[in-house]
Structure 1
């Protein structure tokens, strides 16, 4: 093809058709430029398609992880409601002098949560690789809400339970140590002790008596305030989780 065009130029020059030669040369240059632009356009289209596919895979994985996290947050909510119920029972016994035939599972008073969110602050950095502005902004907001939730639990609630409540329970000798060491199924993933066989790890009657002291009630107040603060953050995270999943599901239709 190059030889063909070169032959045409040589013929025009040999025939003295300089003006036609320059017109032809300009046309040939324009043809080459157009060819280059078409090639660049095709290359950019291929690159954009590759990027879209990568972005689609990232968003699909995030969507799945959000679903898994949603299940985890429901577990947190269930745990909070059980703990809140026990706190109220201990308050009624200690402050209102209510007589209760029984109280909730006493080990809930020292319950810890098992954090394993798949979407965390690390996904804030991954958001920078997402071109979809709406999803990127929602994802960054969501990860910040998770950080807020965890900071309340790990930074404020956990120290109260670990450094104040648990030592107090041990000091009052409320742990039924035999029941713990004979327990066969110690599942720390969700803190559900499935083979209690009617035996309590924490002395119910002893906890009721402890609940009648000012020292315990003051500590119960602190812990309950932090649990409710944590629960408030959970509700925000759950709402943002649902919104983000709906947004990603809707936007994925465009990929």
Structure 2
């Protein structure tokens, strides 16, 4: 092909047809430019296609992770409701002298969650591979809400339980060491309390008696308020998780 064009240029020069030669040269340049533009267009199309495929895989991965997060949120939600019920029962019994027929597991008074960090560095890095602005905006909001929830939990709630409530319970001799050491599996990080059913680590009678004291009710108030603060943020995270999953599922149809 190159020899063909070279032959035409040589022929025009030999015939001294400079006007036609320049017109031809310009036309040849235009063809070359068009060829380059077409090649660049094809290359850009390929790159965009590859980028779309990568983004689709990232979104699928995020969608699956959001489902795992949702399961964990259900666990948090159930735990909060049990803990809040125990707090309310202790308040009613201690401050309002109401009769409590049955309180939930006393161990819940010192309970903290088996809490797993949800947003890791890989998750944040994947954010930069997403070009879909609708999804990106919702993801940024979701990450912010997760961070708010985790801040309340780790910075405010856990220190209050570990540094104030647990030492106070030990000081008041509420722990039943015999029941603890007789457990087959000494762990309270399970999603259920099967290991401790019937073997209360916290003495229920002493706990009810302690509920009559003002100092315990003050600590109970602080702990419950922080749990409530955590739960408020948890509800926001659950809502954003559901919305984000629906959005990603819808947008994936366009990839």
Evaluate the alpha carbon distance shift between residue 192 and residue 186 of structure 1 in structure 2; reply closer, same or farther with a 3 A threshold. Answer: farther
Contact 2:63–2:248 (Cα < 8 Å) also in 1? yes
- Tell me the secondary structure at the aligned position of residue 128 of structure 2: helix
Query: 1:1-255 alignment to 2 at 5 Å?
Result: 1-120=1-120, 123-190=123-190, 192-196=192-196, 198-255=198-255
Q: CA RMSD in A?
A: 1.5
Distance 1:172 1:188 in 2: 21
Query: 1:59-103 CA deviation, whole Å, 9 max, x = no partner?
Result: 111110001000101110100000111001100111011222321
Distance 2:12 2:247 in 1: 64
* TM-aligned CA deviation for residue 121 of structure 1: 6.9
- TM-score normalised to structure 1 length: 0.95
Evaluate the alpha carbon distance shift between residue 247 and residue 117 of structure 1 in structure 2; reply closer, same or farther with a 3 A threshold. Answer: farther
Query: 1:216-238 CA deviation, whole Å, 9 max, x = no partner?
Result: 00110111111111110000000
* TM-aligned CA deviation for residue 128 of structure 1: 2.4
Distance 1:4 1:186 in 2: 87
Evaluate the alpha carbon distance shift between residue 161 and residue 109 of structure 1 in structure 2; reply closer, same or farther with a 3 A threshold. Answer: same
- TM-score normalised to structure 2 length: 0.95
Distance 1:35 1:100 in 2: 85
* TM-aligned CA deviation for residue 117 of structure 1: 4.2
Report how many aligned residue pairs link the two structures. Answer: 255
Distance 1:188 1:58 in 2: 35
Distance 1:169 1:159 in 2: 15
Distance 1:118 1:170 in 2: 32
* TM-aligned CA deviation for residue 17 of structure 1: 1.4
* TM-aligned CA deviation for residue 188 of structure 1: 4.5
Contact 2:183–2:195 (Cα < 8 Å) also in 1? yes
Query: 1:176-198 CA deviation, whole Å, 9 max, x = no partner?
Result: 11211221234454353323352
